[in-house]
Amino acid sequence: QDAFDHPDFYAIDDLLTEEHKLIRSSIRDFVKREISPYIEDWAQRAHFPYEIVKKFGEIGAFGPTVPTEYGGGGLDYISYGLIMQEIERGDSGMRSTASVQGSLVMYPIYKFGSEEQRKKYLPKLASGEWLGCFGLTEPDHGSNPGGMVTNFKDMGDHYLLNGAKMWISNSPKADIAVVWAKNEQGRIHGLVVERGMPGFSTPETHGKWSLRASTTGELVFDNVKVPKENLLPNKSGLGAPLMCLDSARFGIAWGAIGAAMDCYDSARRYALERVQFGKPIASFQLVQKKLAEMLTEITKAQLLNWRLGVLMNEGKATTPQISMAKRNSVQVALEIAREARQIHGGMGITGEYPIMRHMMNLESVVTYEGTHDIHLLILGNTITGIPAFV
Ligand code: TGC
Ligand code: FAD
């Protein structure tokens, strides 16, 4: 018997194919076997389990939508969403490792790279032989990446790259980085920077209270000579990294609901087992209210995510639609984590239960890939036609 019974109050499974359900249960089994038994310990010790990279490669968690000829899974976006949902049910930091590799490293190389670049990098990234990272955010340019100062100069036979990126998931262990930098005309391009290039370093960021099992760091470029063939040739401008973010934010919309499901599941079990005043706390109306609201919000988000997946598959999803889903899912998950924490009473703050870890993780998820308020402003711009960013 599956110990985790995902809520499916509106029979959303009927909207999934047999393949979707198979993918979901194989990733769920993997998470139960390879992540859930160890994640509290990794998170408590701020340990990134590097061996998970190869294992993610083996189960097809990297680049599921990338065509099979490049090592990807050749799957649709609902499959991708389900994979992210199941991994994040285990831990948001583990999902970060997978979504950065798939949506932010493999996707730009596949979409904007040359055939040589696709063949050189994608199979190794898909299999987990190489780990990648994505450098957009800078110390002084987070929500406003268009203001970036990292730059490269054309030196004839190579480019010379200078600058720094901050808050980069996977960076301390990454073999390659997809880096966004401005050329001498101020135009943004993507470059593949490889570990070992002189002048390139990846210092680790310590002291995080969130995503503790994910490794985060900087990217520092001090006169790094980047071969000309490492520039992604097929798209430039801020739109290129923003397209990658569309794909990653879609995965986060599904992933965050995975974390919410885990909190709901744990809260429901705890409420049925924990006795106070001679009764399970699940018999009190206030506890039932919390559980009913959790289930309602999870169900609404599942439907939104599923519909967005269909639009993604049809190539019709827009950035504001993706913003709405990312923003909604993370907010719902954070609120569910907080309510679940209350249901667990004092036990909710310990590593005996996954709640506090999910809650702390979600404080990063609500900020990265566009903050909660930036996504609101993207929607506000769509509704009114007035950009309120500046
Ligand atoms: P704006 O003027 O709106 O757009 C600039 C140019 O880009 C075009 N564009 C798009 N193109 C393709 N796809 C999209 N989704 C696009 N969105 C915009 C746009 O048409 C324009 O083109 P052109 O030719 O006119 O120049 O740009 P803006 O500077 O006003 O910024 C808009 C804003 C604030 C929404 C955007 O900058 C933004 O989304 N900021 C948030 C930054 C962000 O999300 N950073 C994430 C970093 S990566 C990360 O967090 C990874 S964590 C992963 C993990 O661990 O899981
Ligand atoms: P700021 O942009 O300084 O924002 C601070 C506050 O001001 C926020 O509340 C924001 O909403 C608000 N604000 C900013 N502008 C406006 C405005 N116009 N109107 C209203 N409010 C505004 N980046 C990468 O490139 N690659 C990665 O792999 C990556 N991984 C990350 C991993 C972690 C754990 C974290 C925490 C971040 C990661 N990021 C990554 C960076 C992330 O994308 C940024 O933190 C995020 O975009 C916000 O930028 P900032 O932290 O500089 O905040």
Enter the ipTM.
0.98
Please work out whether the CB of residue 333 comes within 6 Å of at least one atom of ligand 1. Answer: no
* CA separation for the pair 286, 86 (Å, rounded): 29
In this structure, which residue's CA is closest to atom 14 in ligand 2?
143
Query: What percent of the chain is helix, strand and coil (3-state, nearest 5)?
Result: 55, 15, 30
Q: What confidence category does residue 7 fall into, taking pLDDT thresholds of 50, 70 and 90? A: confident
Q: Which of 100, 137, 189, 242 to mutate to test the pocket of ligand 1 (most atoms within 8 A of CB)?
A: 242
For residue 118, what pLDDT is reported? 98
Backbone phi, then psi, for 45, in 5-degree steps?
-90, 0
Share of the chain above pLDDT 90, in %: 98
Please work out whether the CB of residue 248 comes within 6 Å of at least one atom of ligand 2. Answer: no
pTM value is: 0.97
For residue 3, what pLDDT is reported? 52
Which member of 34, 40, 86, 369 is catalytic? 369
Q: What confidence category does residue 51 fall into, taking pLDDT thresholds of 50, 70 and 90? A: very high
For residue 1, what pLDDT is reported? 32
Cα–ligand 2 centroid distance for 29 (angstroms): 33
- pLDDT tens digits for range 331-388: 999 999 999 999 999 999 999 999 999 999 999 999 999 999 999 999 999 999 999 9
Please work out whether the CB of residue 138 comes within 6 Å of at least one atom of ligand 1. Answer: no
* CA separation for the pair 237, 61 (Å, rounded): 29
Q: Angle at CA 188, nearest 5°, toward 379 and 308?
A: 30
* CA separation for the pair 49, 224 (Å, rounded): 29
* CA separation for the pair 261, 252 (Å, rounded): 14
> Could you count the other beta carbons within 10 Å of the beta carbon of residue 188?
21
In this structure, which residue's CA is closest to atom 8 in ligand 1?
239
Q: Is 387 exposed, middle or buried (0-12, 13-18, 19+ CB in 10 A)?
A: exposed
Sequence length of the chain is: 390
369 is catalytic: yes
Please work out whether the CB of residue 319 comes within 6 Å of at least one atom of ligand 1. Answer: yes
